[in-house]
Amino acid sequence: MKTIKGPSLHLAQFSDANPPFNTLKSIAEWASGMGFAALQIPAWDQRLIDIAKAAESQAYCDEIKGTLAEHGLQVSELTTHILGQLVAVHPAYDAMCDAFAPEELRGNAAARSEWALQQIKLAAKASRRLGLTEMGTFSGSFLWPYFFPFPQRPEGLVDAAFDELTSRWKPILDNCEEEGINLCYELHPSEDLHDGASFEMFLDRIGGHQRAQILFDPSHFVLQQLKYLDFIDIYHERIGMFHVKDAEFNPTGRQGIYGGYQSWVNRAARFRSLGDGQVDFRSIFSKFAQYDFSGWATLEWECCLKNQEDGAREGAAFIRDHVIRVTDKIFDDFAGTPLSVGQMNKILGISNSFAGKHYG
């Protein structure tokens, strides 16, 4: 069995224009003081990494690793969620997604998606130079406005969307194969890949591509009321990354999983800091120990109530307390009794004259 690594910290919710969150060096010093062992770096945030430079310069990647090592840290993974979101954008979301792209590409959906595809390829190359094996992303979405089938979805609409999604992602997955990187899709509401069923639809179309993996985040499954422990049993061979994020679902007579257009703090389903929600992390960490998951346990802070720095400090300790250092012994070995083949046959009542014979 293998021991999970951690705690790591996803920086997307922490990087900021103000110190200490405005440079990789200063945020590394802060994160080390909070008790983290690694940082998960968003590839789109140029305050933290120049992804084009990282793709081409080994010296620059070594500098990044050295900066973190000064504070006892390492890079756990790069993430490309914002870039993946731009790979497939329904027109209803064009204006909101334009902000994720360079200003000169805004209003040009085709150019914006092509730019995003190239950025993800650069991130895969940068991941290899950093000595990484996994990279996180979103799938993007053509279908999310139609997730509830009323008015009735036209026949063939879902197939057409998934066929186009496949045509856009297959070259990236092939590129990840060349770079030796697993692309881990975070199954997330608002993405076409948001649960096991939708991931399987995609996987079938890409021929079971081995680089198509999963970023497991139980908080999104709480919001969907999906059985996240069963999910690990089903898909553990495809899980390459793990976001440790808590959530709760408290339905009322007024709202359920759809939330009634309420703010995060007023929703029945909402994200919480680690330990403040309903996720059964002890069982999750036990499942990962059972299935030999050896990746990183990465805190993603998205609490609607608690201050982010308190969430980070408490979260680092929470993850450390939940990591199971797996055993290299079988607990009942002390009572074991080595026996010869003849002795085993004897206790089974098998005569030596019949042992090993075949009857037909």
- Residue 328 pLDDT: 86
- Residue 329 pLDDT: 83
- Residue 332 pLDDT: 82
In the predicted model, what is the mean pLDDT of residues 74-97?
A: 97
For residue 352, name the pLDDT band (cuts at 50, 70, 90): low
| Domain spans, the chain | 5-335
The total number of residues written for the chain in this structure? 360
DSSP three-state, residue 36: coil
For residue 330, name the pLDDT band (cuts at 50, 70, 90): confident
pLDDT greater at residue 360 or residue 164 = 164
DSSP three-state, residue 67: helix
In the predicted model, what is the mean pLDDT of residues 202-219?
A: 98
Is the pLDDT confidence value at 163 over 70?
A: yes
In the predicted model, what is the mean pLDDT of residues 45-60?
A: 98
The CATH architecture one would assign to domain 5-335 is Alpha-Beta Barrel (3.20)
- Residue 103 pLDDT: 95
* CB 199, CB 160: distance < 8 Å: no
Is the pLDDT confidence value at 109 over 60?
A: yes
- Residue 326 pLDDT: 92
- Residue 351 pLDDT: 78
Whole-Å CA distances, 247 to 13, 119, 217, 222, 255: 16, 31, 10, 6, 16
Q: What is the pTM of this model?
A: 0.94
